[in-house]
Amino acid sequence: MKNTPLNRRQVVQTLAVAGAGLALGSPARAETKPLEAVKIAPLSSLKKDFDTAEFTFDGDAALLVRLPTLPNDKRRALEVKDNPGKDPTVKEVPAKDPAVKDPLVKEDDTKFYLVAYTRVCTHLGCKPNLPNATEHKMICPCHGSTFAADGSVVKGPAKRSLESIVIEVRGKDVYAVARAAAAQ
Ligand code: FES
């Protein structure tokens, strides 16, 4: 069969088809791979309020914290209710509106809350210290930003709270499953 050179119209059509193929292919390449769930700690290891478990998620240092009350920061939390003699009940709850009650005062002795977040300062990315023993605040060693135990920012220069991580209880263990921003 004789090869004939493509005329200008055929060349344009060929390029258009090739371009469409690339365009169709690009969303798949742009999709982010779902993160693998990471086992953080057994639920039973968080025995008292403000106990913590350090872990790494998606390459970032991160922290799981047991809180006595709902976080102040509208972030997702798991509510855990102790049932004497049985497994605890776990449910996801929306956080309450900011700052009506003292976060250190427990309202219900049978319940506690779990939150997780990255330990990457939202100012310039340093690693805030673990919550201190008295006020349970986390101070960033670089420029002094301060975060509450629920990850919310209480003093700048950081303006944003620590990035929330979605957690689940699977069996007897707590898992990190997604970055909260990506899960919304
Ligand atoms: S990097 Fe944390 S306060 Fe600047």
CA distance 153 to 160: 6
* Span from the CA of 68 to the centroid of ligand 1 (angstroms): 27
Taking a C-beta distance cutoff of 8 angstroms, is the pair 62, 165 a contact? Answer: yes
Q: What is the dihedral of CA 140, 146, 149, 154, to 10 degrees?
A: -160
Indicate which residue's Cα is closest to atom 3 of ligand 1.
143
Indicate which residue's Cα is closest to atom 1 of ligand 1.
124
In a domain, 145, yes or no: yes
* Span from the CA of 17 to the centroid of ligand 1 (angstroms): 50
Per residue of the chain (184 residues), give pLDDT as tens.
444 444 444 444 433 433 443 344 444 444 455 778 999 999 889 989 999 999 999 999 999 999 988 876 666 788 888 877 788 888 887 666 555 566 566 677 778 899 999 999 999 999 999 999 888 999 999 999 999 999 999 998 999 999 999 999 998 899 999 888 755 5
User: Which residues form the domain of 136?
Assistant: 38-183
| pTM listed for this prediction | 0.75
In a domain, 172, yes or no: yes
CATH value at residue 75: 2.102.10.10
Q: Which atom of ligand 1 is nearest to the CA of 126?
A: 1
User: Does the beta carbon of 156 sit less than 6 angstroms from any atom of ligand 1?
Assistant: no
Counted domains in the chain: 1
In a domain, 30, yes or no: no
CA distance 111 to 120: 28
In a domain, 150, yes or no: yes
